[in-house]
Structure 1
Amino acid sequence: MKNRQQIFIVSLLLLLLVITSAGQASEFRRTFLLEAGARYEVSVRIKTDLQDAATLASVYIHNEHGQYLRSTQLSRSLAGPNQWQHISTIVTAPIGALRATVVFTAPEGVEMEWDEFNIRRVELDLADEELIRQGLVYTGLIVDARGLNLQRGMSPKVYSESGQLVYAGVAVSYGFLQEAGIASYGQELSPDLLRRIQPDDTVKVSPLVVTALDIIGTTESSVIISDSDAQAILDALDTYDFLARYSVVFLID
């Protein structure tokens, strides 16, 4: 779907369009203007000095009076160390929105470098919206770990065979963690479990199903999947970031 997006640079609405000079710190922050109802793609190239550093992209939206309206967060584990990786997230400006601040952060003690920061306005054509409506994009992840004696956990993780951290739910709030958790569990795909990966009632459930190869960790609550399945997940996130919405289900014994 992303290949069919008509993307154009907004020249009048943004405080900052492109930053090509590189920087280095544990946090990178920029503010830009919004048009209510419009969609924007915010992207940057980042690398860190640590393997599988969980970099967090946060976007905070405010109105003309500086009042907070909404935020969105995207967590990515960077391949590395010292390998450039492109990170992007889509922001939709709600009614009354005037400006947004995007913040990219790395864990404490991790050195982060960035360049090629871009803000672009994104328009979806009717064909793209139809794909979403028909459920032809993935809306969530199902990890089939049956037969491995996987244990339920508060912070289950998904790793690739080569050791890349694919999912950890690091940006979850304590309240959400207590109420819903970063994943759901079940022996079969019941209607309740499917609702976990359904964005809303107007969108069909379309899960990306992967098979766990082994369990890992002292609590035996994390899994290893194949490198090809890990890449399929990362590719799917370019269209719809279901991991940022914790749309994850583990099938267990």
Structure 2
Amino acid sequence: MKFRQQTLVFLVALMLIAVINPVVRGAEFRRTFLLEAGARYEISVRIKTDLEDAPTLASVYIHGEHGEYLRSTQLSRSLKGPHQWQHISTVVTAPLGAEKATVVFSAPAGVLMEWDEFNIRRIEADRAAEALIEQGLVYTGLIVDARGLDLKRGMSPRVYSQEGQLIYAGVTAAFEFLQEYGIASYGQELSPELLRRIQPGEKSVKVSPLVVRALDVTGSTENSVIISNDDAAAILDALNTYDFLAHYSVIFLVD
């Protein structure tokens, strides 16, 4: 049975922010908007590029009343094909003291990107969907078993499908997050300490990993992996319920 997280959207004008843009071209799209501390917002945009499997990055930087940095979140996605419109969205929660956020959608240098239908809306999570996470009925993280392949540990590991689609790109974390936690965790065997990497929220929440087997190692530094197309599809399908990749809930099992 497939579970999907649902959201109840406030229809009151004060609780809905929507910005619809004409089609715009460039390498980066940036907007700043006001926040209410404790509120959750869904940010979405429709994007297409001129490159096959172009990696795109959605970054949200949250600042306080005096401009001080509070938090950031990043979401990396590979678009399926050139000149095909695709929606990208992410959900953020404004921490205490939050005043405004800047959202940036970007593509690699030299890649032409077009976007429209940019929207920001305040949402309230469906309690039933949160209960699914608490009961362990959705995946809370990704475990890539790369043992026997001599995978090298690195600062920016990536996961590709057999067709070359980029599934996970670990190059988008804020510097502070990177310094403290790293892009992914590594280990030879699963342990309670290692599994904390994919545990959302409170310690009482069950850990439910999606485990895939790496088929090969790739990249000039041999720190990225290739997985089957079926496993790649399973990951993308699971993200519709809970986007664990946006929280960098990734573990690599290595020798």
Q: Please, what TM-score do these two structures have when normalized by structure 2?
A: 0.88
Q: Which residue of 1 aligns with 2:205?
A: 203
Q: 2:155 touches 2:170 (CA, 8 Å); kept in 1?
A: no
Task: Structure 1 unaligned segments of length 5 or more: list them.
Answer: none
Per-residue CA deviation, residues 211-248 of structure 1 (Å, 9 max, x unaligned), is 11222233332211111211221222233222222221
Q: Which residue of 2 aligns with 1:148?
A: 149
Q: How many residues align?
A: 252
> What is the alpha-carbon distance in structure 1 between the residues aligned to residue 141 and residue 104 of structure 2?
25
RMSD: 2.2
Alignment CA distance shift 1:152-1:33 (3 Å)? closer
Q: Which residue of 2 aligns with 1:130?
A: 131
1:77 aligns with 2:74: no
Q: CA deviation at 1:20?
A: 4.6
Per-residue CA deviation, residues 60-80 of structure 1 (Å, 9 max, x unaligned), is 223444444332222222222
Q: 2:139 touches 2:210 (CA, 8 Å); kept in 1?
A: yes
> What is the alpha-carbon distance in structure 1 between the residues aligned to residue 222 and residue 205 of structure 2?
34
Alignment CA distance shift 1:13-1:82 (3 Å)? same
1:213 alignment partner, SS class: strand
Q: CA deviation at 1:10?
A: 5.3
Q: Which residue of 2 aligns with 1:237?
A: 239
Alignment of 1:185-196 (within 5 A): 185-196=186-197
> What is the alpha-carbon distance in structure 2 between the residues aligned to residue 248 and residue 190 of structure 1?
14
Q: Please, what TM-score do these two structures have when normalized by structure 1?
A: 0.88
Q: CA deviation at 1:170?
A: 1.4
Q: Which residue of 1 aligns with 2:224?
A: 222
1:188 alignment partner, SS class: coil
Q: 1:9 touches 1:121 (CA, 8 Å); kept in 2?
A: no
State the one-letter code of the partner of 2:251. V
Q: 1:7 touches 1:122 (CA, 8 Å); kept in 2?
A: yes
Decide which of 11, 14, 23 is 2:13's aligned counterpart.
Answer: 11
State the one-letter code of the partner of 2:47. I
> What is the alpha-carbon distance in structure 2 between the residues aligned to residue 198 and residue 165 of structure 1?
24
2:100 alignment partner, SS class: strand
State the one-letter code of the partner of 1:112. M
Task: Structure 2 unaligned segments of length 5 or more: list them.
Answer: none
Q: CA deviation at 1:173?
A: 4.0
Alignment CA distance shift 1:60-1:220 (3 Å)? closer
Q: Which residue of 1 aligns with 2:162?
A: 161
Q: CA deviation at 1:147?
A: 3.1
1:107 alignment partner, SS class: coil
Alignment of 1:24-39 (within 5 A): 24-39=25-40
